[in-house]
Chains A and B, each alone.
Chain A
């Protein structure tokens, strides 16, 4: 081909897109008009079912979200006056609710019931004329990418307000919601998300994958991430809500073996005593393979199946136990019995050993173990006939049981096998005045070791200061406990802080961490605390059963928050005169968490500290209390020594 032809061909090729653009543009034009007409028609079709809701009285702030008094939206569910809306709209607990009908008239409404799982509230109005009920899009006909129009009725003039987008995803928030990029906000919470025909995809609500309060998810308003509860799911629960029944999430009562929840299969670690799972006969080690016939491959599959169910729902559960498959019918419950870790009454010896079993270091006086005649030096071998290879194995086994349960313990006493029957007790709250050594063997002095003594630890990208004390005797073959002490001051002006711990801390590595601002810790500094813990755990051998975080005042308040956020890491929280300012999580078998609370008795915060004590005790966390006189002060040597002993007992069984 010569150059001329080539050029002409190229030129034509270059013009083709232009011509194409033109024809597409013409098509686009009619398309745009048709779209606009279709959107308007869709909104007009649903509009008779979209009502305006106004409230009178109520709170100004709930869960730190400032509430407006503005009108919100609701959707008609039945011609005789049932109206569903987002629970967000009633989080401020109004005195009266008024429903504004599309014809402009207003009628008083009654709050019938609330669904605390999907965050919906059902209202009822008394009317003479039947209301218009919208049509629902069947869940299996929804397609990601289809038109989705969010409709509210909150602006003055009473006209519906709309925002246009697509369906972004299905099966969101544990299968409870569909997602859209149409703008979803208080301007349309409680209103419908509709398709291009004006049929209802779902009810717009604020939702959050992690939190469950009525206001959770509001921070995502107008972000392009909006959620709607499929109307078909709403209709399913309507009969229950109509009866005035509040609905809550249903619980099965199992803890899964730790692992990657997006990759690993769900294997039962613990079926909580008295729970639906326990009564059905589900056992530790069972691998859950299906729920209501839906195959379960990963932990998240199971969570999606469970988290969207209600208390009172029955599920068909299939598990694989060894080679066999077992099926169970289980009814989910609203609440599980508060869990309390049971206690045998011993401290284990920490010598490394090739022999199986756990050697007793110390027997708590009056404990179940003491009553059964167990003595220091005994080797605990098996629980209820099943061998427990080491301390961790024995602890896991016991965590799956309940206080008050009778167990058979196999042990060897002076080389002689023995079997004792023990009723499990509660964890001790008092700290023994004296403890025998945790090790009988001394490490080889020649063993190589990382840096010991007192030194500064700097974490890149944080200005916070940190000092670490590692005892001279530290060897990698002998893991230590770790105490992270949070100081609410920006400067290491008090060099003595860390030295105060040294005389007591031969079994412990201590780190003092300083806030970036004097007098307060910010939530964002939790990352600093975690990095210090990471750095020490990488360089030194740390016993995971004795990792404790603590502090005085603001440092103590921060300690609670950090420990709750990383329950895998922390086994103890030790505070001096600090109340709880964050919600405490439920006590759960896999996460042992103990509290040591030293407090002055005449301080401004005493009321809040007393509330903290009552709350933690009611949640069955073991809480050791040390009253230290009237005035707030630093802990003295005796108190520090006791705290260090308390940490030394955290590997108790």
Chain B
């Protein structure tokens, strides 16, 4: 066949009407709650951008993901080394490329806001973000592994919210300054380049921002997670309005000048010979706070306050965070029983 076949006017009208009807249906469904996943994904992908910046050596990727949060080109992303350059490039879903300006960043929340010079962009509205309880079906949008380039849309992954939990309530579990709630998901969402991508529910409503790759040092697995939008909304607003003042780095809990140690309490542990020597009490000094509180030789210290200590080293580190005048509760294993012991260094305050 060569060229289009001739058609009568009547047929053309029918075709036009049909297309209108079809278009109407699509519009309807887009605004109703009954959208297919394909439609949700197609509608959401243009709200994501591909970000290129510093990196590209020593296995550090020079790209990440971001999401548009205003029609005039504000981009929310993760604060990382990728943004540590004068030349940040943002590529939209339609292939348009922009030089981006870094408006500001909060290294505590690991949040950054970029601005590109554009108009009428499809975008997320942070104030319409939703919560997602466990078992919520979710979609993750990001340029993981830098697969998409130019006018290619970002990748969509499907999964479920596994649990909402706090990161690193236990010291050293995760190497990130962020200390707050995250959504853990059961899809492999957090891969190189995915940071800054969007986690939405199955209707495309924003839930969170995908974080950097994070290894869970407690069980040596990679964590797939997103930070809830509610945690960053106010900071983003401050950055956008130019009112953001970078806060000083919050150290891991204030370390007291005058902290507790084993000698002050009057106890000695078994020699620390293994990477994880269990903290058994070896010697309790006569007349010491430990002895007065009833600590005994061969007690195994399990908790300092509410924190589990798994080795002699853990115990020393935990005590170093307790001011000397405050006293501390230890939970020890004595034979087959757990025993709580309240220790006070105040000489007058011995146990009755």
A interface list, Cβ under 8 A from B = 3-4, 7-8, 11, 14-15, 18-19, 21-22, 24-26, 28-29, 32, 35-37, 39-40, 43, 54-60, 66-72, 95-96, 98, 106-108, 110, 126, 154-157, 159-164, 182-183, 185-187, 221-222
With A162-B135, A186-B221 already in contact, 20 other A-B pairs whose C-beta atoms are closer than 8 Å: A4-B10, A8-B14, A18-B25, A19-B25, A22-B28, A36-B136, A40-B134, A57-B310, A59-B275, A68-B220, A69-B218, A70-B173, A72-B219, A108-B338, A157-B165, A159-B134, A161-B134, A162-B160, A164-B186, A186-B219
- Distance in angstroms from A173 CB to nearest chain B CB is 22
Tell me whether B35 is interfacial, beta carbon within 8 Å.
Answer: yes
Which residue in A55, A58, A72, A159 is a CB contact (below 8 Å) of B163?
A159
**Contact A162-B163, Cβ < 8 Å, known A7-B15, A26-B34, A36-B137:** yes
Task: Tell me if A160 and B163 are in contact (CB < 8 A).
Answer: yes
Contacts of A161 in B (CB 8 A): 134, 162-163, 165, 184
How far is A54 from B306 in the complex, measured between Cα atoms in Å? 13
Q: Does B18 contact A (CB under 8 A)?
A: yes
Chain B residues lying within 8 Å of A68, measured Cβ to Cβ, are: 216-221
User: By DSSP majority rule, is chain A's interface helix, strand, loop, or mixed?
Assistant: mixed
Beta-carbon contact of A18 and B165 below 8 Å: no
Query: How many Å lie between the Cα of A68 and that of B221 in the bound state?
Result: 9
6 chain-A/chain-B pairs, Cβ below 8 angstroms:
A8-B11, A11-B15, A56-B311, A95-B278, A159-B163, A163-B160
CB-based nearest B residue for A188:
B162
Nearest 6 pairs of A and B residues by beta carbon = A70-B218, A57-B278, A163-B186, A68-B219, A70-B219, A186-B219
Q: In the assembly, what is the distance between CA of A590 and CA of B219, in Å? A: 42
Residues A69 and B276 in contact in the complex (CB < 8 Å), given A26-B34, A107-B338, A159-B164:
yes
Partner of B310, one of A15, A25, A55: A55
Contacts of A21 in B (CB 8 A): 36
Given A159-B164, A161-B163: A35 in contact with B137 (beta carbons within 8 A): yes
Query: Which residue of A11, A58, A106, A164 contacts B160 across the interface (Cβ within 8 Å)?
Result: A164
How far is A185 from B223 in the complex, measured between Cα atoms in Å? 11
Chain B residues in 8 Å Cβ range of A59? 275-276
Interface membership of chain B positions 305-344, coded 1 if the CB is closer than 8 angstroms to chain A and 0 otherwise = 0001111000000000000000000000100111000000
Instruction: Tell me the minimal C-beta distance from A517 to chain B in angstroms.
Output: 22
Most buried by A among B186, B274, B302, B333: B186
CA gap between A156 and B218 in the complex, in Å:
11
**What class of interface size applies to chain B in its complex with A?**
35 or more
Contacts of B277 in A (CB 8 A): 57
**Per-residue A-contact encoding for B136-167, CB less than 8 Å = 1, 0 else:** 11000000000000000000000110111111
Given A22-B29, A183-B186, A162 and B11 contact (CB-CB distance below 8 Å): no
Q: How far is the CA of A39 from the CA of B136 in the complex (A)?
A: 9
Residue interface bits B194-215, CB-to-A below 8 A is 1, else 0: 0000000010000000000000
Interface membership of chain B positions 260-286, coded 1 if the CB is closer than 8 angstroms to chain A and 0 otherwise: 000000000000001111110000000
Residues of the A chain whose Cβ atoms lie less than 8 Å from the Cβ of B275:
59-60
Q: Which residues of A contact B22 (CB under 8 A)?
A: 15, 18
Residues from chain B with Cβ under 8 Å of A67 in the complex: 220
Q: Are B221 and A221 closer than 8 Å at their CB atoms?
A: yes
Q: How many A-B residue pairs have CB under 8 A?
A: 160
Q: Tell whether, in the assembled complex, residue B300 and residue A56 are in contact, meaning their CB atoms are under 8 Å apart.
A: yes
Q: Which chain A residues lie closer than 8 Å to B184 at the CB level?
A: 155, 161
The closest CB in chain A to the CB of B220 belongs to A68
Chain B residues numbered 97-113 whose CB sits less than 8 Å from any CB in chain A: none
A39-B302 contact, Cβ under 8 Å, with A11-B15, A25-B36, A72-B219: no
Complex-state Cα separation, A348 to B274, whole angstroms? 57
Residues on A with C-beta less than 8 A from B216 are 68, 70, 187
Give the chain A neighbours of B166 by CB distance below 8 A: 156-157
Say how far B144's CB is from chain A's closest CB, in angstroms.
15
A-chain residues with CB within 8 Å of residue B169 when the two chains form the complex: 156-157
**Which chain B positions have C-beta within 8 A of A162?**
134-135, 160, 162-163, 186
Which residues of the other chain, B, contact A24 by a CB distance below 8 angstroms? 36
List B residues at the A interface (Cβ < 8 Å): 7-8, 10-11, 14-15, 18, 21-22, 25-26, 28-29, 33-36, 39, 133-137, 159-160, 162-167, 169-170, 173, 184, 186, 188, 202, 216-222, 274-279, 300, 302, 308-311, 333, 336-338
Nearest B residue to A36 via CB reads B135
A39 contact set on B, CB distance < 8 A: 135, 160
Partner of B21 from the list A15, A96, A107, A159 (CB cut-off 8 Å) is: A15
Contact across chains for A96 and B202 when beta carbons are under 8 A apart: no
Chain A residues in 8 Å Cβ range of B217: 68, 70
Contacts of B164 in A (CB 8 A): 157, 159
Given contacts A66-B220, A156-B165, contact A56 B310 (CB under 8 A): yes
A222 and B310 contacting across the interface, CB-CB below 8 Å? no
CB of B221 within 8 A of CB of A187, answer: yes
Residues in B whose Cβ lies below 8 Å from that of A69: 218, 276, 310
Bound together, the chains give a CA A107 to CA B331 distance in angstroms of 11
| Nearest neighbor of A98 in chain B, beta-carbon distance | B302
**In the complex, how many angstroms separate the beta carbon of B297 from the nearest chain A beta carbon?**
16
User: Once the chains bind, are A40 and B135 in contact (CB under 8 Å)?
Assistant: yes
A222 to B135, CA, bound (A): 17
Which B residues touch A60, using CB under 8 A?
A: 275-276
A222 lies within 8 A of B219 (CB) = no
The distance from the CB of B154 to the nearest CB of chain A, in whole angstroms, is 22
Closest chain-A Cβ to B212's Cβ sits at a distance in Å of: 18
Of the candidates A29, A37, A222, the one whose C-beta lies within 8 Å of that of B221 is A222
- CA A22 to CA B18, docked complex, whole Å: 16
C-alpha gap A28/B18 in the complex (Å): 25
Q: Are A28 and B34 in contact (CB under 8 A)?
A: yes
Q: Whole-angstrom distance between the alpha carbons of A54 and B164 in the complex?
A: 20
Residues on the B chain within 8 Å of A32, using CB: 137, 202
Give chain A residues whose Cβ lies under 8 Å from the Cβ of B308: 54, 56, 98
State the CA gap A40–B164 with chains docked (Å).
Answer: 13
Q: With A7-B7, A68-B220, A155-B163 given, is the CB distance from A126 to B186 under 8 Å?
A: no
> How far, in angstroms, from A185 to B277 measured CA to CA in the complex?
26
B222–A222 touching, CB < 8 Å: yes
Q: For B135, give its contact among A56, A164, A186 (CB under 8 Å).
A: A164
B10's closest neighbor in chain A, by CB? A4
A108, chain B: closest CB distance, angstroms: 6
Alpha-carbon gap, A98 to B338, bound state (A): 10
- A283 to B241 alpha-carbon distance, docked (Å): 88
By the criterion CB–CB under 8 Å, are A110 and B336 in contact? yes
From B133, B186, B188, B274, give the contact of A182 (CB < 8 A).
B186
- Considering residues A14, A68, A126, which has the most beta carbons from chain B within 10 angstroms of its beta carbon? A68
Residues of chain A within 8 A (CB-CB) of B165 are: 155-157, 159, 161
> What residue of chain B has the Cβ atom nearest to residue A182's Cβ?
B186
Residues of A within 8 A of B135 (CB): 36-37, 39-40, 43, 162, 164
| A393, chain B: closest CB distance, angstroms | 54
Alpha-carbon gap, A26 to B35, bound state (A) = 8
Are B310 and A22 in touch, CB under 8 angstroms?
A: no
CA distance A341 to B11 in the complex (A): 90
Give CA–CA (A110, B333) in the complex, Å. 12
A22 touches B221 (CB 8 A): no
A96 touches B300 (CB 8 A): yes
CB distance from B280 to the nearest CB of A (A): 8
Contacts of B337 in A (CB 8 A): 108
Q: Is the CB of A25 within 8 A of B35?
A: yes
Q: How far is the CB of A365 from chain B (nearest CB, A)?
A: 55
